[in-house]
Amino acid sequence: MRVFVYGSELSAATAAAALSWVGHHVYWQAHLSQPWEKLKHAGWLRREPTLFDQLQDSLAEGNLTLVSGVEAVPQCDIAWLALSPAQRDDAAAFVSHPALHEKPDLLLVNNSTFPVGETERLQGLMRSTQRSVALPDMLEEGRAWATFTRPTRWLLGCDDAASERLVRELLRAFNRRSEVFQPMPRRAAELTKLAINGMLATRISYMNEIAGLADTLGVDVEYVRQGMGADTRIGFEYLYPGCGFGGPNFSRDLMRLADVQFSSGRTSALLEQVMDINEQKKETLFRKLWSHFGGQLAGKTVAIWGAAFKPGTARIDHAPVLTLLEALWAQGVTVRLHDPAAVPALEEAVGPRDDLLTFCDDPYLACEGADALMLVTEWKSYWNPDWSRLSALLNAKLVLDGRNIYDPSFVASCGLTYRGIGRRADPMTC
């Protein structure tokens, strides 16, 4: 098939790479806000496993063609939209363009992060013979290629059999292991995507509340987590307390779901609480630091490991580190930070802070002269540090584990003070 992809989101780049990889000819128009010449240098794109190399291969082989306008659309069977919520007007302009009307049987696949009902609105701007489907973006940042090419599910919002058949053929190469399509009406697919992320966020925030309660009661929350996860009605997924979630899609979808509730004349006390809990949790490491030093933080130095909102990405959108840095700086704390990928994004976000922020190329260098270490992003390179070395480097020998990846008793046995999210060392093993 011939496919026209429009957008500069991760979902657009992944679709362009994957569809061209399996033999479709793809014309890709990057969004004006981030053209290919800028996009190809983006850290988040280059950090995605396989993706950037596959884009380069497809361009070299000729299955992927970069274009700057919509002139190729009449040659295509499918137009694939992968835009951000702020680009809704651009989507409307795209489907209203005269070039699209030259293709009377064009199918629009809306893979954008738009509000519920937007696919139907775009359909109203198209020719009566053209059709649209909603295919919500289900990619996981840091493993976008894997989730597109080996999907566990596609939410296919489709109201006619012919369109469903065409989408199935388009994605047939990624549907061979088992049936992954979940057909439903367009509006239902759009709401389902938001509802899934709302449920996941609720599980995380609930677990964070339980972790806070465990702290108060002197209980190690790991016992509680294991007990809850072993219940088959609950399971272990997204049942890990931490210092808050972030990300461009997860946080955005949660806010969009709240907006849908509000615009429908409903209020959601639950969603408001989920978002409030998450924002409060972004300061939890700061509060533990404050408590440990009795509020005397001026002049202290803290090492931070991890800035990205999750391992495997260079993005810091809504990341806990942003809230944490502001809280630390407000108390005159100097920060020495290491992250394998997200430093450029953080530099751009916070600007020059030579007085209070130093970026370090080595995680142990960040700890030299620091009073405490804060683990914010659980990159695999942080999971098994040299504890003896850390004990020698940290002045106050304090480790604040924002992701509960360390064993409290083992860390304590190395002569360090451990503080996690609802975790505590077993005095019998220290």
**Inter-residue contact 3 to 41 (CB < 8 Å):** no
| Paired tokens of 66 | 């970069």
Domain-wise residue ranges, the chain:
2-184, 185-279
Per-residue pLDDT, 426:
67
Highest mean pLDDT out of 113-117, 162-166, 425-429: 162-166
Per-residue pLDDT, 231:
95
Instruction: Name residue, tokens 């503080």.
Output: 419
Least trusted range by pLDDT, from 6-20, 266-280, 359-373:
266-280
Classify 49 as helix, strand or coil: coil
Confidence of residue 430 (pLDDT cuts 50, 70, 90): very low
Least trusted range by pLDDT, from 69-73, 108-112, 267-271, 415-419:
267-271
Total count of residues recorded for the chain: 430
Q: What is the mean pLDDT of the chain?
A: 93
Classify 154 as helix, strand or coil: strand
Per-residue pLDDT, 267:
73
CA distance 331 to 290: 10
CA distance 221 to 404: 10
Per-residue pLDDT, 44:
87
Using one digit for the tens of pLDDT, what is the confidence trace for 385-412?
A: 999 999 999 999 999 999 999 999 999 9
What would the mean pLDDT of 276-281 be, rounded to a whole number? Answer: 91
In the chain, the amino acid numbered 286 is F
**Complete DSSP assignment for 205-254:** HHHHHHHHHHHHHT--HHHHHHHHHTSTTT-STT----S----TTHHHHH
CA distance 204 to 332: 31
Q: Percent of the chain at pLDDT above 90?
A: 82
What would the mean pLDDT of 32-59 be, rounded to a whole number? Answer: 94
Confidence of residue 264 (pLDDT cuts 50, 70, 90): confident
State which CATH number among 1.10.3720.10, 3.30.70.260, 1.25.40.10, 1.10.1040.10 fits the domain covering 185-279. 1.10.1040.10
**Inter-residue contact 273 to 205 (CB < 8 Å):** yes
- Which of 198, 168, 327 lies closest to 259 in space, CA to CA? 198
CA distance 367 to 364: 5
- 240 backbone dihedrals φ, ψ, rounded to 5°: -115, 120
Confidence of residue 272 (pLDDT cuts 50, 70, 90): confident
pLDDT above 50: residue 67? yes
Integer angstrom CA distances of residue 288 from 224, 242, 331: 21, 13, 14
**Complete DSSP assignment for 170-193:** HTGGGSSSS--EEEE-HHHHHHHH
What would the mean pLDDT of 115-137 be, rounded to a whole number? Answer: 94
**Inter-residue contact 413 to 399 (CB < 8 Å):** no
Per-residue pLDDT, 427:
56
Kindly calculate the radius of gyration of the chain based on its CA atoms and give it in whole angstroms: 24
What would the mean pLDDT of 38-62 be, rounded to a whole number? Answer: 94
CA distance 200 to 240: 11
pLDDT above 50: residue 230? yes
Per-residue pLDDT, 66:
97
What would the mean pLDDT of 170-191 be, rounded to a whole number? Answer: 93
**Burial annotation 203-224 (CB, 10 A radius, 16+ → b, else e):** bbbbbbbbbbebbeeebbbbeb
pLDDT above 90: residue 121? yes
CATH number for the region 2-184 comes to: 3.40.50.720
**Inter-residue contact 116 to 85 (CB < 8 Å):** no
Burial (0-12, 13-18, 19+ Cβ within 10 Å), 281: buried
Per-residue pLDDT, 147:
95
User: pTM of the full predicted structure?
Assistant: 0.87
Distance linking the first and last C-alpha atoms of the chain: 63
Strands 398-401 and 334-338: what pairing?
Answer: unpaired
Residue scoring higher pLDDT (257 or 407): 407
Identify the bridge partners of residue 3 per DSSP, sorted by sequence position: 26, 78
| Paired tokens of 68 | 């700057």
CA pseudo-torsion sign 218, 223, 225, 228: negative
How is the beta sheet containing 417-419 ordered, strand by strand? 357-359, 334-338, 301-305, 372-375, 398-401, 417-419
Identify the bridge partners of residue 64 per DSSP, sorted by sequence position: 26
Give the relative orientation of helices 51-61 and 10-21 as an angle to the nearest 10 degrees.
50
CA distance 274 to 90: 32
CA distance 124 to 100: 14
Confidence of residue 181 (pLDDT cuts 50, 70, 90): very high
Integer angstrom CA distances of residue 308 from 35, 261, 328, 381: 24, 30, 18, 14
Using one digit for the tens of pLDDT, what is the confidence trace for 151-163?
A: 999 999 999 999 9
pLDDT above 80: residue 20? yes
pLDDT above 60: residue 333? yes
pLDDT above 70: residue 429? no
pLDDT above 70: residue 360? yes
What would the mean pLDDT of 327-343 be, rounded to a whole number? Answer: 96
